[in-house]
Structure 1
Amino acid sequence: MSLTSIELFTPQLPFTSHSCAFRIAAYQDSDFATFAQPLPAKLSRAVAKRKAEYLAGRYCASQALKALGLPHTIIASAESRAPIWPAGIQGTITHTRELAMAMVCDDPAILGLGIDLERKMSLKQEQELQTQILAKAEQPAFERLGQVHACPLTLIFSAKESIYKALYPVVQRFFGFEAACLVEHSDNQLCFTLTETLHETLPQGTRISVYFQCNDELVLTECCLRADV
């Protein structure tokens, strides 16, 4: 399997990123050795899709870390499946349908990073999945977003994925989509408030902003948790 570096988007957060394209049909287990990444025992019996996505994500993370000046790095996974980054590094990985991306930073003021790539949902999916992703309190903001974007639910879903990734290093536990409520948006940001206290530094009512951009097929969202949030 080849991993082809590409520029999917220009990220809005000022951190180092790397993205690539790959073909699941071309995957074979020897690809891990080719790219100097170990095949985790947990994935030994996984389907090719899962292995290819994991490898592509770790490859992007390794390339982003190299751009920061770090040597080749193996990014293992915790029991929670969250990536284990080198000391002093915050990072995040995402993949969707044969595309992968990673972002890293070494700024001590950044407590967590989250990015998420999504293929745009069909209109049918946008309609069918609203009750699973949206809370009633988000409906007004969702409708306003839908007046200017054709895929508002995809944007919100992706943003909540990015929020989870960015906050997890501090929260250190699972929390659901209902923990963040969309309240407003601008041309390139979605603004959420926390509906519950996730950590002593993240009380109910905390505002979380997520950058977003999209093209004809994809949505990218980006979130970072700063020490002064």
Structure 2
Amino acid sequence: MQAVNATKESGAERHFIGKVQSAVDPRTGVRQVSCEFDSAGYQPTLYPQLGIALPEPIARSLPKRQAGFLAGRYAAALALQHLAPVRNQDLQVGIGEQRNPLWPSGVVGSISHVGSVAVCAVSRRLDMDYLGIDVEVLIPTRVCREIATIVATRRERELLSDQGLSERVALTLIYSAKESLFKALYPSVRDYFGFEVAEAVELRLEEQSLVLRLTERFADKHKLPRDYQCQFTLGEHWIQSVTCGKFPGRANLKAVV
């Protein structure tokens, strides 16, 4: 991805926001923006300086949470600048009752942040009905053993390990993919579903693609297709997943804008 310049140049902002990257992912067609940030350089005055609204629930949270929220919304504001429907609109991304992002009209999007990196993916609603992005640091081996049966079935873990992925990479990938699927579908279903609702059924390692399949019961309940393709990127210490696409018969679904 090519770097873009931050729009502000004050010393405080330079100490908080680091490298910014922006590009259209050729695999999905969605705009992705990432930025590095330093929580140690955070201060509440950065919100007005960067033009980002500070919601009351976030204002009551710990500074680390405020820093991650600000970096994510900053990446979102940069990403929205590239979309025709919102170029002349307010670039604020609101916050819902469940702290889910509320996007401007005509936009689907998703935000994720972990450690010192925030990422955002956006698309025009005309082009995508659902979109979720998630980035995760590789899960430590000890933690993998504690959560393995919660995140994935043995069949899922074997599907990935049979293609040479280590336990840490396999479990982190499944975790991240299912998180991106949740973020993609929640605006339509408004249902806090868990890891057990989806199963990894096909891995195309060369294409960096993982197919997730919803349970028949959940898909029928919400009138959803069962299969979803997740595009992933394997970094040295992290994994990023993006699940996006269009619903067949989209007029029957009332997504929350």
CA separation in 1, counterparts of 2:204 and 2:23? Answer: 19
Q: How does 1:52-201 map to 2 (within 5 A)?
A: 52-69=67-84, 70-71=87-88, 72-145=90-163, 147-149=164-166, 151-187=169-205, 188-195=208-215, 196-198=217-219, 199-201=221-223
If the length of structure 2 is used for normalisation, what is the TM-score?
Answer: 0.81
Higher relative contact order (CA 8 A, sep 6+): 1
Number of residue-to-residue matches in the alignment:
226
Mapped partners of 1:213, 1:91: distance in 2 = 18
What is the TM-score with the length of structure 1 in the denominator? 0.90
Partner of 1:7: 21
Letter in 2 for 1:112: Y
- Which whole-Å CA distance do the structure 1 matches of 2:218 and 2:36 have between them? 38
In structure 1, the partner of 2:44 is 29
Change (3 A) 1:219 1:10: farther
Name the aligned partner's letter for residue 100 of structure 1.
A
Gaps of 5+ in 1: none
Q: Which string of whole-angstrom CA distances, capped at 9 and with x for unpartnered residues, describes residues 108-165 of structure 1? A: 24111001111111222222220121134534424325x2355100000000000001
* C-alpha distance 48-118 of structure 1, shift in aligned 2 (>3 A): same
Q: Distance in 2 between matches of 1:140 and 1:178?
A: 16
Which range is displaced more, 56-65 or 68-77? Answer: 68-77
How far apart in 2 are the matches of 1:10 and 1:143?
Answer: 30
Taking a change above 3 Å as real, the CA distance of residues 73 and 7 of structure 1, as seen in their structure-2 partners, is closer
Shift of 1:213: 1.3
Contact 2:34/2:75, CA 8 A, preserved across alignment:
yes
Aligned pair 1:222/2:236, yes or no?
no
Structure 1 residue 73 displacement after superposition: 1.0
Moved more, 182-191 or 135-144: 135-144
The one-letter code sitting in structure 1 at the alignment partner of 2:211 is C
CA distance in 1, matches of 2:24, 2:117: 15
Of 66-75 and 32-41, more deviation after overlay is shown by 66-75
AA at the equivalent of 1:135: T
Once the 2 structures are TM-superposed, how far is the Cα of residue 96 of structure 1 from its aligned partner? 0.5
Report the Cα distance in structure 1 between the residues aligned to 2:53 and 2:127, rounded to whole angstroms.
31
**Fraction of identical pairs, as percent:** 31
RMSD: 2.1
| Kept in 2: contact 1:5–1:21 (CA 8 A) | yes
Three-state SS of the structure 2 residue aligned to 1:110 is coil
CA distance in 2, matches of 1:148, 1:212: 14
- Tell me the distance in 2 between the aligned counterparts of 1:96 and 1:25: 15
Runs of 5+ consecutive residues of structure 2 not aligned to the other structure? 1-12, 250-257
Deviation of 1:67 (Å): 1.7
Secondary structure at the residue paired with 1:129? helix
Change (3 A) 1:129 1:119: same
SS of 2:224's equivalent in the other structure is: coil
Deviation at 1:10, TM superposition (A): 7.3
CA distance in 1 between partners of 2:19 and 2:77 (Å): 12
